[in-house]
A and B are shown apart, each in its own frame.
Chain A
Amino acid sequence: MEALTIKNLKKTYEGNHEALKGIDLNVEEGDFFALLGPNGAGKTTTIGIISSLVNKTSGQVKILGIDIDEGHSLAKKQLGVVGQEINFHQFEKVGQIIRNQAGYHGLSYIQAKQNAEFFMKRLDIWDRRNDQARTLSGGMKRRVMVAKALVNRPKLLILDEPTAGVDIELRRSLWDFLQEINNELGTTIILTTHYLEEAERLCRNIAIIDRGEIVENTSMKDLLARLEKETFSMDLDKPINTIPSNGDFDFKLKDSRTLSVTVKKGQQLNEVFKTLSNEGIEVLSMRNETGRLEELFLSLVESDPDKSSLLDVKIGEME
């Protein structure tokens, strides 16, 4: 069954700005799905329509087979949303915020309390339950947002840039947590993010949206298989002065102990090592220099001749 079905979804804002130009999207139940795109591409508008924060101009949205217009209440019961901005009352206590969210979904006070306790403990905010939300750090507030979205135990969870501006430790703990709920509870997760490594690490399927249109919709594996070239950085055992001579590969000396090499699709890394070995160069460690998904993403959205104009548009106006 499909957790989310979008058909010919259009949104035109005041001033005749067309944010979505008739997009189609399907997300399978249990999937971990990435929706990527540059600022102003239409990601937040799409999420806004799914979660009723934005009125659509036309088109159809179904959550777990339920049309959001015809079965509004039933469809919303399956949904949890973590918005891009912190959107809870800063003077309320953390526990109250999460319990109230459960109450809005119709849970009884006791059930709301139990669910809130469960997710506050899972997200390590239980000790702060009696503190006013304004006293929390940015990372803690993000956890509250996630707990709030999960407190009704939704089958579809949408996260709009959940790790924006949070430190690496929290980002990784959130990744682990999201993978757990995806695997253990079978919650379908749709993620938008600007950290492409995040999407590459977490998501099985991906759609890329640009200027209100889906420009790519495939599995992460298939997308990465299309990568034309990859650049690797290698730390060397001993310093070298001359670049290894093999015309098939593009070697560059970054400093006397760091060598980079660009490998095209179809070329084998074994050949690289053979070249280095023949020249008596030993490699201590090797890493991918750029995000693989990042290269693909840029190639997809930069092919747009008007790309520069996107950068001039304020996010607020577009999304």
Chain B
Amino acid sequence: MSATEILNAFLTIIRKEVIRFTRIWLQTLVSPAIMIALYFVTIGVIIGSRIGEMGGFSFLEWMVPGMVMMSVINNAYSNVLSSFFSVKFQKSIEELLVTPVPNYIILGGWIFGGMARGIMVSVLVIIVSLPFVNLSVQNWPLAILVIFLTSMLFSIGGFINALFAESFDDVSIVPTFILTPLSYLGGIFYSIDLLPEFWRTVSLGNPILYMVNALRQAVLGSSDLASMGMTIHFALFMIVLFIVILFFLALWLLNRGKGIRA
């Protein structure tokens, strides 16, 4: 295939994916925004007013970057997972396998589809947060970069999960038992400084902690990164490293036909 043909195929996959999730916008875009609004009302406003400050900011201000990141992670991951599992289940993946489109384009198309949803939901969450908190983003380029990279990383994660999934039960195992606990324990609602020494050390093994704090650093200009002995550059490096490793793992699995070829 020529470069133009490859680009056409890539854009077709992305277009198809965006049409898919926007066709069911109530479920894919509005639903996560409503859930986050409820978090702001119940935890942010009602409970947060009794908590007081966190890391030198109001609890709501502290919470917003965490909620944005949680939405990006969940939506990017679940978009690719459900979409790719569905094309496997319905056998419509055959539509792609019989064409000359290279595997890295198939992978890239689904990743960008997942990123599109993750980024759209993050924008909605930021809009939903505006009535609750006067948000003043300190470093917009950094905030956009962190959201972009995180949505990419978890889109790849969703793709790998979909390749291995053989039943609807398999689709829910990782999000329920791994992703959700790591998100809630990733410093969305609290500063890592509040944890006892042991749990603080354990938390350092949670990759989501770095992503949440990278975005918090971009939005508030302050985060737990310094107290963790890390810089923003190190956090970004770790995210990029995970992206590279998982991308090549997903491509290797796809080339071998894992879960899609007999």
Contact = CB atoms under 8 A, between A and B. Distances in A.
Interface of A: 13, 48, 51-55, 72-77, 79-81, 83, 85, 87-92, 96, 100-101, 103-109, 112, 148, 152
Contacts of A100: 12, 15-16, 95
B4 A52 contact: no
Contact of B261 (A54, A76, A87): A54
Interface string B4-48: 111011011101100110010000000000000000000000000
A53 B8 contact: no
A87 B100 contact: no
B178 interface: no
15 contacts: A48-B262, A52-B97, A72-B100, A73-B1, A88-B90, A89-B87, A89-B92, A92-B16, A101-B95, A103-B9, A105-B99, A106-B5, A106-B8, A106-B101, A152-B99
A79 B1 contact: no
B102 A53 contact: no
A170 to B, nearest CB: 22
B207 to A, nearest CB: 33
Nearest to B8: A106
A115 B208 CA distance: 47
A77 B9 CA distance: 13
Contacts of B96: 104
Contacts of B11: 103, 109
Contacts of A81: 94, 98
B2 A106 contact: yes
B91 interface: yes
Interface string B63-96: 0000000000000000000000011001110111
B91 A77 contact: no
A88 B91 CA distance: 7
Contacts of A75: 100
B90 to A, nearest CB: 6
B251 to A, nearest CB: 15
B257 interface: yes
Given A55-B261, A72-B100, A100-B16, A106 B94 contact: no
Contacts of A54: 261-262
Nearest to A102: B12
Contacts of A107: 5, 8
Nearest to B93: A87
A154 to B, nearest CB: 10
A55 B92 contact: no
Contacts of B95: 87-88, 100-101, 104, 148
Given A103-B12, A106-B1, A106-B5, A55 B100 contact: no
A233 B189 CA distance: 85
A53 B94 contact: yes
A103 B1 CA distance: 12
A229 B99 CA distance: 45
A159 to B, nearest CB: 13
A53 B261 contact: yes
A90 B99 contact: no
B85 to A, nearest CB: 13
Contacts of B92: 87-89
Nearest to A83: B94
A133 B132 CA distance: 44
B94 A104 contact: no
Given A103-B11, A106-B2, A76 B94 contact: no
Contacts of B99: 76, 101, 104-105, 152
Closest 5 A-B residue pairs measured CB to CB? Answer: A106-B5, A103-B12, A76-B100, A73-B100, A104-B99
Contact of B9 (A52, A83, A104, A148): A104
A51 B257 CA distance: 13
